[in-house]
C-alpha cells in the first residue's frame, strides 16, 4: 500500500517506511517556543541538568503573546525567555525589535521548509502544514525534551482526505473552508489524525488562505493539517532565505485514508461560527437574518492577520466609517506585514475608517490584552476560537468569520454579508 504525505515525511526522517499507528522517535527540524509556554520548558530543561540545546539552529523563540508586556507578571515571564536566549546566544530569537506572531513570522523568515518535522508549544503550530511540512503542537515538557535531545516521540497519525472542488465565490476564503469542515465533523472529528487538504480548489487558494486552512485543523482535533507543495507554494518560497533545501512529498494514489470528505466550494456562503464552539458554523445569511449587532470587530491573529487580510479589509472600509457603537481593532501578524500595509496605504485607510491598529501580538485572540470583551459584549473576530470567556468576560460572545465579513460588519455595526 502507498503512503500519505505525513507518512512519507516521517519515513524520510527515520530512514525506513512507516505506517499510521506506529510509535516512532523522530528528529525534529524546528522547535518553536513563545513567551507564554517556553518558561515552563526552560525550567524543565534546566532541572534536567542540560547545558546546551541539542540543535540550537533549530530552536526559534518568538516573543508574541504579551509583547510589549501588559503587566509585571507578563514582563517577568518574558524576562525568563530573554535571559535564556542571551545565555545560549540564540540566533533565532525574535523580540520587540523584530517581532511577529510566531505562525506568521517563521514562514516569513524562511524557517519553515517543505518536508520538515516541526513542533511548538502552541496548538496552532499546525499552521505550517500549509508549506508541505508536518507541524504540530505539543506541551511545554515535550518541548523541553526536544530542546534537550533534538527529537521526540510520535504516533504516526491516520489521515482524513478532504477534497475541495469548484472555484470559490466572491469573499469565500480559506477561513470559510476550514469552518465548513469543522461544522461537518465537529471539534473532535479528526482527533489525532491528519487533515490532508486536496482537490482542484487548492489552486485558487493563495498562501494566506492555506495558512488559515491548516491553522484551524486543531479545532477539529487534528494532529496536523497539510497541503502538498505546488506552484503557489514554490512562488511563496522564492524570495525567502530558506535555512535548508526543501523536500517535496506527495501522497500515493493508493495511500490509506480513514475517510474522505468532499465539499463543493462553489456552493458555499461565508461561514460564521456562532458561540461557543468553532463547530457551530452557520451560513452568513442566517447571521444576517438573526440581526446580530456587534460591539467589537477584531481582524488579526495567526489565522487571519496577514497582508491579504488587511488588503481585504481596507478595500471594504475605504471611504467608509466604522459604526459609532462598534470598535474595530486590527492587528497585523508581523512587523513586515505592518510595514508593507503602511507602504500600500492600507493603514491610513483603516485608521481613517475608525480602526485602532496595534502592534503584532496574540493578545486579543486569547483574551490577554489589546481587545478584551466586557460583560455581555458581542464580537465578530477573524480568530480561531470562540470558547466561553476566550476574549474576555464569560458572558461575552464571539462569532468567527473571514476578514471580509468582519470589515463589512464593522461598518454596519452588525453581522452582514460582504458580497
How confident is the model at residue 267, as a pLDDT?
A: 94
With the CA atoms of 77, 78, 80 and 84 taken in that order, what torsion angle do they form, in degrees rounded to the nearest 10? 160
CA separation, residue 220 to residues 7, 33, 132, 184, 385 (Å): 20, 23, 19, 10, 11
Tell me the average pLDDT across 20-37: 96
Tens digits of residue pLDDT in 123-135: 999 999 999 999 9
Instruction: Report which secondary-structure segment, H or E, holds 176.
Output: helix 174-185
State the sign of the Cα–Cα–Cα–Cα dihedral 60, 65, 67, 71. Answer: negative
Between strands 224-226 and 193-198, the pairing is parallel
How confident is the model at residue 399, as a pLDDT?
A: 98
With the CA atoms of 51, 54, 55 and 61 taken in that order, what torsion angle do they form, in degrees rounded to the nearest 10? -50
pLDDT band of 97, cuts 50, 70, 90: confident
How confident is the model at residue 297, as a pLDDT?
A: 98
How confident is the model at residue 415, as a pLDDT?
A: 98
Q: Which of 381, 199, 182, 174 is nearest to 296 (CA)?
A: 381
Q: Please tell me the pTM assigned to this model.
A: 0.94
Res. 1: pLDDT tops 90: no
Percent of the chain with pLDDT over 70: 100
- Domains, the chain, in order of start with CATH, read 5-263 (3.30.499.10), 272-412 (3.30.499.10)
pLDDT band of 92, cuts 50, 70, 90: very high
pLDDT band of 110, cuts 50, 70, 90: very high
How confident is the model at residue 249, as a pLDDT?
A: 97
Q: Are 254 and 7 in contact, with CB atoms under 8 Å apart?
A: no
Q: Are 398 and 374 in contact, with CB atoms under 8 Å apart?
A: no
What count of other Cβ atoms lies within 10 Å of the Cβ of residue 91?
Answer: 11
Q: Give the chain's mean pLDDT.
A: 96
Q: How far apart, in whole angstroms, are the C-alpha atoms of residue 25 and residue 45? A: 19
What count of other Cβ atoms lies within 10 Å of the Cβ of residue 267?
Answer: 10
Res. 321: pLDDT tops 90: yes
Q: Are 283 and 298 in contact, with CB atoms under 8 Å apart?
A: no
* Count of CA atoms in the C-beta half-sphere (13 A) of 134: 26
Tens digits of residue pLDDT in 273-316: 999 999 999 999 999 999 999 999 999 999 999 999 999 999 99
Phi-psi sector, 183: left (phi>0), alpha (psi -120 to 50), beta:
alpha
Percent of the chain with pLDDT over 90: 98
Cell numbers standing for residue 356: 485602532
Q: Which of 172, 171, 180, 394 is nearest to 275 (CA)?
A: 394
* Residue-wise burial string across 376-387, b where 16 or more C-beta atoms lie within 10 A, e elsewhere: ebbbbbbbbbbe
CA separation, residue 28 to residues 154, 222, 389 (Å): 11, 19, 34
Cell numbers standing for residue 325: 457603537
Amino acid at each position: 500500500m502507498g503512503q500519505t504525505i505525513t507518512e512519507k515525511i516521517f519515513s524520510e526522517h527515520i530512514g525506513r517506511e512507516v505506517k499510521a499507528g506506529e510509535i516512532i522517535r523522530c528528529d525534529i527540524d524546528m522547535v518553536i517556543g513563545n513567551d507564554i509556554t517556553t518558561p515552563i520548558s526552560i525550567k524543565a530543561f534546566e532541572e534536567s541538568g542540560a547545558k546546551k540545546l541539542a540543535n540550537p539552529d533549530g530552536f526559534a523563540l518568538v516573543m508574541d503573546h504579551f509583547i510589549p508586556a501588559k503587566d509585571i507578571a507578563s514582563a517577568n515571564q518574558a524576562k525568563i525567555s530573554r535571559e535564556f536566549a542571551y545565555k545560549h546566544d540564540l540566533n533565532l530569537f525574535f523580540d520587540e525589535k523584530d517581532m511577529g506572531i510566531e505562525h506568521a513570522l517563521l514562514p516569513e523568515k524562511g524557517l519553515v521548509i517543505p518536508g520538515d518535522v516541526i513542533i511548538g508549544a502552541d496548538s496552532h503550530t499546525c499552521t505550517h502544514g500549509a508549506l508541505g511540512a508536518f507541524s504540530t503542537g505539543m506541551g511545554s515538557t515535550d518541548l523541553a525534551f526536544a530542546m534537550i535531545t533534538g527529537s521526540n516521540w510520535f504516533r504516526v497519525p491516520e489521515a482524513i482526505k478532504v477534497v475541495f472542488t469548484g472555484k470559490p465565490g466572491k469573499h469565500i476564503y480559506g477561513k470559510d473552508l476550514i469552518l465548513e469542515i469543522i461544522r461537518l465533523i465537529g471539534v473532535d472529528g479528526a482527533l489525532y489524525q491528519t487533515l490532508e487538504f486536496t482537490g482542484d480548489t487548492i489552486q485558487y487558494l493563495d498562501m494566506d488562505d492555506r495558512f488559515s486552512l491548516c491553522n484551524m485543523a486543531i479545532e477539529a482535533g487534528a494532529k496536523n493539517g497539510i497541503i502538498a507543495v505546488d506552484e503557489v507554494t514554490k512562488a511563496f518560497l522564492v524570495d525567502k532565505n530558506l535555512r535548508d533545501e526543501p523536500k517535496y512529498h506527495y501522497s500515493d494514489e493508493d495511500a490509506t485514508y480513514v475517510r474522505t470528505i468532499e465539499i463543493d466550494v462553489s456552493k458555499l456562503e461565508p461561514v460564521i461560527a456562532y458561540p461557543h464552539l468553532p463547530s457551530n458554523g452557520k451560513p452568513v445569511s442566517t447571521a444576517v437574518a438573526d440581526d446580530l449587532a456587534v460591539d467589537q470587530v477584531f481582524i488579526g491573529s495567526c489565522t487571519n492577520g496577514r497582508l491579504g487580510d488587511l488588503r481585504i479589509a481596507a478595500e471594504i472600509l475605504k471611504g467608509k466609517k466604522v459604526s459609532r457603537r462598534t470598535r474595530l481593532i486590527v492587528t497585523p501578524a508581523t512587523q513586515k506585514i505592518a510595514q508593507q500595509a503602511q507602504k500600500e496605504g492600507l493603514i491610513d485607510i483603516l485608521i481613517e475608517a475608525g480602526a485602532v491598529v496595534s502592534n503584532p501580538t496574540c493578545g486579543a485572540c486569547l483574551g490577554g490584552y489589546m481587545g478584551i470583551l466586557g460583560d455581555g459584549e458581542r464580537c465578530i473576530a477573524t480568530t480561531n476560537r470562540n470558547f466561553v470567556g476566550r476574549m474576555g468576560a464569560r458572558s461575552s460572545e464571539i462569532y468567527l468569520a473571514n476578514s471580509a465579513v468582519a470589515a463589512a460588519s464593522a461598518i454596519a455595526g452588525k453581522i452582514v454579508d460582504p458580497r
